[in-house]
């Protein structure tokens, strides 16, 4: 529920790996817009001592946890991109918990609109959580370059991740709004400010 008892407009932000979702989300946050990040919630859910980590260890074995008690993300990533069944099991553990947490956070928001960053919004069929879908779109070559520079992953690993995600045409077909990230950060910020005005208008018209 937003201001004056009105429904808060919920904008789902999605896009392929390396498309620039984090940069866009940070730009919205800098404008004072509440941002809920599903990946951040997933990180919190697998902290040492959390029930989800015990469930993951039960599926992936003791190698899923490193010596310091934290989840071994590299090991988990290797497992799920080579075994579709393990990937499904991990999703079955995490996605319902993330969804529950998103709903709880949304119920506390007192702002005309908010951004919910869900990288796998379409793949996990969670579009019912949002009112509008904002896709950050980027040429695949640029996505691969950004991910390689950021995460140090091999091109084969990056391609495997991209192939496990919805393709560009599917995302664009589902989009209400699109930010094309093929230029510089300044251009991205201008587009975010345009959408900010647009979302404020929609929120107050409802």
pLDDT at 5: 54
Q: 1-34+109-206 sits in which CATH class?
A: alpha beta
pLDDT(204) > 90: no
31 vs 186, more confident: 31
Mean pLDDT across the chain: 89
- Please give the structure tokens belonging to residue 92: 């079955």
Considering the chain, tell me which residue range(s) the CATH 3.40.50.300 domain(s) occupy: 1-34+109-206
Residues 6+ apart with CB under 8 A from 77: 157
For the segment 61-119, what is each residue's pLDDT rounded down to a tens digit? 999 999 999 999 889 988 987 888 998 999 999 999 999 999 999 999 999 999 999 98
Partnered with residue 168 across adjacent β-strands are none
């Amino acid at each position: 529920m937003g201001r004056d008892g009105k429904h808060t407009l919920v904008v789902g932000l999605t896009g392929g790996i390396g498309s620039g979702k984090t940069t866009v989300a940070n730009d919205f946050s800098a404008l004072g817009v509440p941002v809920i990040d599903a990946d951040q919630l997933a990180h919190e859910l697998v902290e040492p001592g959390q029930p989800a980590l015990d469930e993951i260890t039960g599926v992936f074995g003791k190698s899923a946890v490193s010596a310091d008690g934290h989840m071994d993300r590299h090991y988990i990533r290797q497992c799920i991109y080579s075994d579709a069944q393990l990937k499904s099991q991990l999703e079955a553990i995490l996605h319902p918990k993330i969804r529950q947490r998103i709903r709880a956070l949304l119920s506390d928001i007192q702002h005309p609109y908010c951004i919910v960053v869900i990288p796998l919004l379409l793949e996990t069929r969670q579009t019912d959580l949002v009112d509008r879908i904002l896709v950050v779109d980027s040429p695949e070559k640029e996505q691969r370059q950004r991910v390689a520079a950021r995460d140090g992953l091999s091109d084969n690993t990056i391609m495997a991740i991209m192939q496990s995600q919805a393709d560009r045409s599917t995302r664009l077909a589902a989009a209400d709004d699109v930010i094309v990230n093929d230029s510089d950060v300044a251009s991205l910020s201008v587009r975010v400010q345009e959408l900010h005005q647009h979302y404020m208008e929609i929120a107050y018209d409802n």
